[in-house]
Amino acid sequence: MVADLGIKKVKDFCNINIDEVIGLKESNEKFLAGVGRKTLEKQIIRANILSNIKKPIIHKAIELPEVSVELFFDIEADPTQNLIYLHGVYERRVGKEKFIYFLAKDNTEEEEKRAWQEFWDYIKTLPKNDYAVYYYSPYEKTAYKKMRK
């Protein structure tokens, strides 16, 4: 995107004319390939926040559940081998915190399944309807749907 637009600084991105850019895209299919109007709009908003506003933006209030166990969850994968090798949980229980992980010890499907099963065995030990799981991006959810199959 930077090369096509000739942008060198984030601040410069704030001044892009989206209609002009979309016009260029329509006349040259290789120009900003895979980038549409919505993506450009989001990037301009982000550039404006970084360059001008310089503080977090809250779009709406966040209401977190009151539970006795909170899990901050992440997975690590090797996409070159189509393997999820680590299920990591930072667990917070009433003032106590610890990191728990479930690791595939080698890059075989059997080890991936074992680590996956150990993770779910752990989840089953949590108090029913009294825990929350937080994760960074939709990647974890998507990867787990794939693994479930």
The pLDDT of residue 94 is: 84
Domain residue ranges of the chain, discontinuous segments joined by +: 2-53, 69-148
The pLDDT of residue 96 is: 95
Q: Is the pTM of this model over 0.85?
A: no
Which residues, other chains included, contact 103 with Cβ-Cβ below 8 Å and sequence gap of 6+? 85, 86, 115
Pair type for strands 131-135 and 83-93: unpaired
> Quick one: which of 72, 83, 78 has its CA closest to 147?
83
CB atoms within 10 A of CB 113: 12
The pLDDT of residue 123 is: 96
Decide: 104 and 114 in contact? Cβ < 8 Å: yes
Positions in the chain short of pLDDT 50: none
The pLDDT of residue 143 is: 83
